[in-house]
Amino acid sequence: MTTAPSAPRAPRTSLALPGPRAPMTPRALAASTAPATSAISATSITPATPAAPAARGLPLGRADVEAAAARIAGHLRRTPLLAGPAGPELPRAGRRLLLKAEHLQYGGSFKLRGAANAVLALGARRIVTGSSGNHGIALARLAAPLGAEVTVVLAGGAHPAKIAVIKALGGRTVRVPGGVAERDARARELAEETGAVLIPSSDHELVVAGQGTVGLEVLAEAPDAETVYVPTGGGGLLAGVCLAAYGHPVRVVGVEPAGTPRYARSLAAGHPVRLAPGDTVADGLRGQQPGAVPYPIIRDRVDDLITVSDAQILDAAALLRRRGFEAEPSGAVALAGAIRAGRGTGLAVAVVSGGNTKAALMRAAAAGPPARAHCTA
C-alpha cells in the first residue's frame, strides 16, 4: 500500500475529553495489502474548536505527563533513541527511522513508567492488578524495594515465563479462565475484597500519564520527528503519547495486531466496542475493549490507526534481532506498523515497547528482586 505524504498540519494545543460531541468518523477505510490486515485512517480529523483542558476541568493534560516525569525520574532509565533499519530493510528511499529503546527499560518494558507513577502518587502498599505480564512484572519489581505487596491476576493465555518472573520478584499470581475482560473483572473483585489499591495496566489516569513520558522523551530528543508509531493494546501508551504530543505537529499513529483491533473498530463505530477474546503473537496486546481513560484521549488526538498481521510482527521482531535488539513480539509491533505504512520521507520514530523474550525472562527470574539502587536514583 502506498500513501502520499500528508501536508503539514497545525499543532493541536488542547484536548477534548468526554462531553457532548458528534462521534468521530474516520476519513477513510483502507484495505490492507497484507492478509488479515486492515487500516483505519483518522488523519486530520480534529474536534471543532475544543476548549482548553483547564477550562473544562478535564482529568488529564500534558502537565500531568510532565509531573509524572518528575515523580518517576529516579525509578527508571531514560532510554535512548537508536538508529533503526534503513535501505533495503526499510523500503522507502530517503526515509529515516529511529527506535525508542524501551526494551532496555528496567523490568524489560515501558510498563515501569505508568506503574511507578501510580504507586508513588498513591503511596500504595497493597496492590492488585490485571496484567498480561509486563505490567505485573513492573509492579512486582517496584514492590520489593518499596515494601509493597502485589497480586497479579492473569488470563489463561499469559506467558508462563512472565508468570515465573512475577513470582521470582515476590508477587502473588492468580490465574482465571477467559480473556482480558474476565481477568480485569477478577482484579476489581479482589481489590474490593481485600481493600488493596487497584492499579490497572492501562485504564488509569496515573498510569496513562506515566506512559506518556515515553512521548516527552521522544519529542525532546527528536523534535523534528514527522511520525511516532506506538504499539496499542489497552491504549495507555498511545494515550500517553497523545497527551505528550499536544502542541506539537508530530503525527501519532497507533499500531494494533490485526486479530485485536479494538481501537480501530471503536473509532469506526464512534463509541467503544468490545471484541471477543482474540489471539495474536503479541501477547501483551490482547485487550478486548478500549479503556475509559485512554479512549477519549486517543479519539481526539490520534492521527492514524493501522493494523499488522502476526507475520508482519514476527518479521519485524526478526529484523530487530538481526540489528541486536532483544524485542518480544509485542515490542516489535510499532516497527511492523512503520514498515507497513511507509508514509513520508522525514524522520519517524517507532517505540520498541518491550524486550521480555524467553531468554530475557529466564535471566530476570534467576536474578530475583532488584536491589533498591536499581529502582531509585
The strand pair at 38-41 and 304-308 is best described as antiparallel
Please indicate whether residue 145 or residue 73 has the higher confidence score (pLDDT).
73
pLDDT tens column, 269-324? 999 998 887 788 888 787 778 999 999 999 999 999 999 999 999 999 999 999 99
Provide the pLDDT confidence category of residue 370 given band limits of 50, 70 and 90.
Answer: confident
The per-residue pLDDT for 346 is 86
Exactly one of 132, 202, 266, 353 is catalytic; name it. Answer: 132
Please indicate whether residue 131 or residue 374 has the higher confidence score (pLDDT).
131
353 is an active site residue: no
The per-residue pLDDT for 181 is 84
Task: Please tell me the distance from the alpha carbon of residue 313 to that of residue 311, in angstroms, as a whole number.
Answer: 5
Phi-psi region of 215 (alpha: psi -120 to 50; beta: other; left: phi over 0): alpha
Q: 44, 281 in Cβ contact below 8 A?
A: no
Provide the pLDDT confidence category of residue 155 given band limits of 50, 70 and 90.
Answer: confident
User: Is the Cα dihedral 304, 130, 103, 257 positive or negative?
Assistant: negative
Q: 264, 19 in Cβ contact below 8 A?
A: no
Amino acid at 209: A
> If we measure between CA atoms, which residue out of 300, 354, 373 comes closest to residue 24?
300
Dihedrals phi, psi of 155, to nearest 5 degrees:
-80, 175
- 3-class DSSP state of 145: helix
Secondary element (H or E) of residue 191: helix 180-194
> If we measure between CA atoms, which residue out of 196, 169, 170, 157 comes closest to residue 106?
169
Task: Please tell me the distance from the alpha carbon of residue 126 to that of residue 194, in angstroms, as a whole number.
Answer: 9
pLDDT tens column, 53-77? 333 334 799 999 999 999 999 999 9
Phi-psi region of 237 (alpha: psi -120 to 50; beta: other; left: phi over 0): alpha
Per residue in 17-33, is it b (16+ CB within 10 Å) or e — as a string?
A: beeeeeebebeeeeebe
> If we measure between CA atoms, which residue out of 88, 92, 111, 85 comes closest to residue 316?
85
* Grid cell in block for residue 316: 519485524
The rounded percent of the chain whose pLDDT value lies above 90 is 62
162 is an active site residue: no
Provide the pLDDT confidence category of residue 41 given band limits of 50, 70 and 90.
Answer: very low
Does pLDDT of 6 surpass 50? no
Does pLDDT of 8 surpass 60? no
Q: Which residues contact 227 (CB under 8 A, 6 or more apart)?
A: 250, 251, 252, 253, 338, 341, 343, 344, 346, 348, 349
Provide the pLDDT confidence category of residue 116 given band limits of 50, 70 and 90.
Answer: very high
The per-residue pLDDT for 343 is 66
Residue range 175-181: average pLDDT?
Answer: 86
Does pLDDT of 329 surpass 80? yes
User: Residue length, the chain?
Assistant: 377
The per-residue pLDDT for 159 is 85
- 3-class DSSP state of 140: helix
Dihedrals phi, psi of 307, to nearest 5 degrees:
-120, 155
Look up residue 10 and give its DSSP letter.
P
Does pLDDT of 213 surpass 80? yes
The per-residue pLDDT for 92 is 57
Please indicate whether residue 214 or residue 96 has the higher confidence score (pLDDT).
214
The per-residue pLDDT for 235 is 94
Residue range 234-253: average pLDDT?
Answer: 95
Q: Is 143 exposed, middle or buried (0-12, 13-18, 19+ CB in 10 A)?
A: buried
The per-residue pLDDT for 91 is 61
> If we measure between CA atoms, which residue out of 177, 200, 178 comes closest to residue 187?
200
> If we measure between CA atoms, which residue out of 102, 89, 3 comes closest to residue 339?
89
Q: Where are the beta strands (DSSP E) in 193-249?
A: 197-198, 227-231
Exactly one of 14, 41, 100, 111 is catalytic; name it. Answer: 111
Provide the pLDDT confidence category of residue 94 given band limits of 50, 70 and 90.
Answer: low
- Residue the block writes with cell 500504595: 124
Whole-prediction pTM: 0.82
Q: What is the dihedral of CA 338, 339, 340, 346, to 10 degrees?
A: 60
The residues with which 252 forms a beta bridge, in sequence order, are: 228
